[in-house]
Structure 1
Amino acid sequence: MPFVLYLLGLAVFAQGTSEFMLSGLMPDIAADLDVSVPTAGALTSAFAVGMIIGAPLMAMLSLRWPRRRALLVFLTVFLLVHVLGAVTTSYAVLLATRVVAALANAGFLAVALATATAMVEPNAKGRATSILLGGTTIACVAGVPGGALLGQVWGWRSAFWAVALVSVPAVLAIWRSVPADGAAGLGADGGAGADTGSGVRGIGVGVRGELGALRTPRLLLVLTLGALVNGATFCTFTYLAPLATEVAGIGEGWVPLLLALFGLGSFIGVSAAGRVADVRPLQVLLAGGVALLAGWVVFALVAGGPGAAVVLVLVQGALSFAVGSTLISQALYAATGAPTLAGAFATAALNTGAALGPWIGGRAIAADLGYRSPLWVSALLVALALATAGTAAGLRRRGVTRGRIRGAAPGMADPAPTSLDR
């Protein structure tokens, strides 16, 4: 794998830390800016909405830019708004910085996914994706607990300064390591840009061409599955602290360690899936999806035992991110004609799940179903994902069989194969 992929992963680490670190900083932010805790909680919602909306919009904006320029612009904006967030005394300004940071994060991730998969062999998208997402998982392991610790020692603003400082070497590394001519160059006819010969293929098509390439049932299916699986993941992750303390009887002092354990599991899952997702994606998704469903059900049944809860936090973190990262790589395989927008819509789908899952879990808790209920919601969402995938597979087989019975040409009956068909 090219070393530059790990540098892109460093930037993703800083962005992942920023996205999740507020969970441990909310009371301090609320007290310092003289707002309620629920009002401060809107900072997290604003970031999620910015990611959902920003991923496709920022990706389309960047299509005519060289990739290095796009990466540098998005990451520099991300860095600067964290500096502004660290010094502002206005809640409104801080809220605005979260929206802008999310837009920059979404644009960066979309272009980074396209850049990473363009720098490797066509059949290595899963490994490239796992390196980038490894930055997010490391953020869960080290960045989020580290941000909480900084907030306790030096105040919540220090966590914002830390994110900005970590972004600096990533900016310099991208400037030095991503080829300047590895660009999204459109030809004079507005068509596909040629391979630059630099090792980074051009983004290839304009906005209209990439949007056309997204109209594939397989891609829509993968995006739907990604939203459901990620919704299940963050439904439980969001309420892991009260689940641990109120149901499992784990002391509050152990909650940061439990969060880090979930992050460790996610890192293991992404790393393991990256090694096999390019070769056996269907097996990873099927076996991993079934195991993920079983894990959520078992977790819901035995959540009252602290030992079982600790083990299952690690296991479910690994399974969730193994399946989720494989779905992202499959989105890129399913839309090879739209590498930037495919990554952008995959980002939007995952963040849609990350927003809806906790909301559904919160509704279940508000309905007096207890802190164990998010586990059942997670199980339900994964079951829905498996049912959706099974229904789609059945419809596809029926369509292929009907086409052959009618004597249709094989190219008309069978969808173009992707790695998911292996």
Structure 2
Amino acid sequence: MHQRALERPRVTAPIRRPSLALLALALGTFAIGSGEFGSNGIIQLFAADLGVPVPVATYAITAYALGVVVGSPAITLLAARVNRRTLLLGLVALFLTGNGLSAVAPGIAQLVVFRFLAGSVQGAFFGAGAVVAAYVYGPGRGGKAFATVMSGLTVATIVGSPLGTFVGQHAGWRAMYWTVVTLGLLAGLALVAWLPRTEDLHGSSIADELGALRRGSVWLMFAVAALGISSIFAVYTFIGPFVTDAARRDAALIPVALAVFGIGMAAGNQLGGRLADRYAHRGLAGGYAGVLVLLVLIGVAGDDLLVLLPCLFGVGATMMAAIPTIQVRLTALAPDAPTLMGALNLAALNLANALGAIGGALTIDAGWGPLSTVWAGFALTAGGLLLYTATFSRRP
């Protein structure tokens, strides 16, 4: 698929119900985000039920992230010629399978495998979804298109993840995954009903997609994203311990903290879409710099809930402000492979998930306390900002 995928291609038929098509895409990413972030909210529950410590339970979180990293480019390349509508529907089927199996996993080893399977869907879905959204929006609005697709994920952090945590706390962690399966079924029905059927959304050759992977600048931007975004997960993965162990508050406040973080993500995502379409660097550089300041505040005073909650909002907002810019920059680097660039963006985000979770687990294992995870995130995001400044800040 060439640059016409992000600049509105020749339309062979009017786009019927464009707002509903965009809503269907957002519903899909809402279901995916509810499964991803909902797992973070119930980590203490499935750790206890499966008889493993929390650091070992984070393997399931890491496995999901690695599923995105591996599955995103693999599925995108294998399905290069497939119409984006058909691809999205197939990905929903795989998503339902992975989450259904997660709900019946008998042990941590099986849960790790099933979370990997569920994660393999995410990047390809966001990549194909971004292409469809850009087709609906038209040229010059790639940042807004990606922000629209991402909006489902940010709403999942406000509604889906806290709801999943609530369901897990009251009906068991397995019920959370069945709830995600139900959301996935609803999203699939919406995609069937509302996505446009058009030849303009046909894929391209594998050679076109592979050509993008030979560009060093693409991999540099991938590294910038993976390093920089990791701090969001060095925080989000450990919100439960932040509330109960650091701030010494009741576990009933964990869903509230998750929702505050999610509201910040939603606000930052909308701002980030506008920044990405207007400025080359401000969304990313400003987002990364802002989150570094907030991480220091959490590390120093996050045991006070009145400090912790505003900082959780701020971390979500500043980091999400950067992500649409990453997508626009990746697409500019490889305009002939927009679906793959969307998949790589999500792959980088989930490699960041793994890096943040691993870094946080290491600091906790070292005995430095629950808030120490933010310092692992600080080091990773600072590395991403330095790499971006050194390699991309002078480019138009």
TM-score of Structure 1 vs Structure 2, range by shorter chain: 0.7 to 0.9
TM-score, with length taken from structure 2: 0.87
Any idea what the Cα deviations from partners look like across 1:206-263, whole Å, max 9, x if unmatched?
1122221343344333212111121111112222232334434444332221111011
Q: Distance in 2 between matches of 1:71 and 1:218?
A: 28
Partners of 1:214 and 1:179 in 2: how far apart?
29
Counterpart Cα distance in 1 of 2:384 and 2:282: 15
- Is 1:296–2:295 an aligned residue pair? yes
- Confirm or deny: 8 A CA contact 1:214 1:338 kept in the other structure: no
Look up the match of 1:343: 342
Q: Note if 1:307 corresponds to 2:280.
A: no
Q: Which residue of 1 aligns with 2:132?
A: 115
| Aligned counterparts of 1:44 and 1:227: Cα–Cα separation in 2 | 16
Change (3 A) 1:287 1:25: closer
The Cα of 1:41 is off from its aligned counterpart by 4.3
Q: 1:45 aligns with which of 59, 62, 72?
A: 62
**Pairwise CA distance, 1:14:** 0.6
SS of 2:140 mapped into structure 1: coil
Q: Name 1:36's counterpart in structure 2.
A: 52
Amino acid in the other structure paired with 1:73? G
Change (3 A) 1:365 1:87: closer
Structure 2 counterpart of 1:83, one-letter code: G
Give the conservation status (yes or no) of the 8 Å contact 1:125–1:333: no
Cα separation, 1, equivalents of 2:242 and 2:179: 29
Asked if the contact 2:68–2:350 (Cα under 8 Å) also holds between the matched residues in 1, the reply is yes
1:150–1:159: 8 Å Cα contact kept in structure 2?
A: yes
2:321 is the alignment partner of 1:322: yes
Q: Give the match's secondary structure for 1:372.
A: helix
In structure 2, the residue matched to 1:105 is 122
Indicate the residue corresponding to 1:208 in structure 2. Answer: 207
Over 3 Å counting, the alpha-carbon distance change for 1:3 and 1:332 in structure 2 is farther
Shift of 1:24: 3.7
Task: Give the distance between the partners of 1:338 and 1:305, measured in 2 at CA.
Answer: 46
Contact persistence 2:275–2:282 (CA under 8 A): no
Contact 1:295 1:312 in 2 (8 A): yes
| Higher relative contact order, chain-length normalized (CA < 8 Å, sep 6+) | 2
Once residues 189 and 234 of structure 2 are traced to their aligned partners in structure 1, the CA distance between those partners, rounded to angstroms, is: 36
Could you say which residue in structure 1 is the equivalent of 2:7? none
1:16 maps to 33
Structure 2 unaligned segments of length 5 or more: list them: 1-17
- Worse-matched range after superposition: 61-70 or 166-175: 166-175
Q: What's the offset of the Cα at 1:95?
A: 4.4
Can you give the 5+ residue segments of structure 1 that lack an aligned partner in the other structure? 183-195, 398-419
**Would the aligned equivalents of 2:62 and 2:357 in 1 still touch at CA under 8 Å?**
no
CA-CA distance at 1:331 after TM superposition? 1.7
Shifted more, 16-25 versus 244-253: the winner is 244-253
Shift, 1:157, TM fit: 3.0
Give the TM-score normalised by the residue count of structure 1: 0.82
- In 2 relative to 1, CA 129–83 (structure 1 residues): closer, same or farther, beyond 3 Å? same
State the distance in 2 between where 1:41 and 1:60 align.
Answer: 29
What is aligned with 1:71? 88
Give the match for residue 159 of structure 1. 176
Hey, what does 1:147 align to over in structure 2? 164
Distance 1:134 1:166 in 2: 16
**Which has more radius of gyration?**
1
1:366 is aligned to 365
Take 1:168 and 1:25, find their aligned partners in 2: how far apart are those partners? 22
Cα deviation, 1:295-336, whole Å, max 9, x if unaligned, reads 222332332432122211111110011112321232223221
Does 2:367 align with 1:384? no
Task: Please name the residue that 1:187 is paired with.
Answer: none
- Seq. identity, %: 30
Q: Report the CA distance between 1:3 and its aligned residue.
A: 3.3
